[in-house]
């Protein structure tokens, strides 16, 4: 059974650019959540997808958007990148309703 995998692991972008981060959920998990972890902070909830629909959103602007695909893989898209978007982006999957999240290793985004 493979766990949650994310790509890329590291990337560097410049202000104003757009980025797409990808996540493959753990087998059998139909819910995916995305979190942003800034340096020295705990992870912050961005949004969650269940059966390809957004199922809850944190306090993030609309330039943060996502998709979940029929195979339960997911993408996080961020438009018009700002310096403060520099962070570790964590994807987590779960069988819906379990309450426990299974995290990937994260994608570290640096915005210059």
Partner 1 sequence: DQQVKQNSPSLSVQEGRISILNCDYTNSMFDYFLWYKKYPAEGPTFLISISSIKDKNEDGRFTVFLNKSAKHLSLHIVPSQPGDSAVYFCAASEDFGNEKLTFGTGTRLTIIP
Q: Which residues bind partner 1 (CB under 8 A)?
A: 4, 31, 33, 35, 40-45, 48, 56, 58, 90, 92, 94, 96-106
Our CB check for partner 1 shows the closer of 104 and 111 to be 104
Cα dihedral across residues 27, 44, 109, 49: positive or negative? positive
Residue whose C-alpha is closest to residue 17's, from 80, 66, 107, 110: 80
Q: How far is the CB of 93 from partner 1 (least distance, A)?
A: 9
Q: How far is the CB of 102 from partner 1 (least distance, A)?
A: 7
């Amino acid at each position: 059974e493979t766990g949650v995998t994310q790509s890329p692991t590291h990337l560097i972008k410049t202000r104003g650019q757009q980025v797409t981060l990808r996540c493959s959920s753990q087998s059998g998990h139909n819910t995916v959540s995305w979190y942003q972890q800034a340096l020295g902070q705990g992870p912050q909830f961005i949004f969650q997808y269940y059966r390809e629909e957004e199922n809850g959103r944190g306090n993030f602007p609309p330039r943060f958007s996502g998709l979940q695909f029929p195979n339960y893989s997911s993408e996080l898209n961020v438009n018009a990148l700002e310096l403060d978007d520099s962070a570790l982006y964590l994807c987590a999957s779960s069988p819906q309703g379990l309450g426990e999240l299974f995290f990937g290793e994260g994608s570290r985004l640096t915005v210059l």
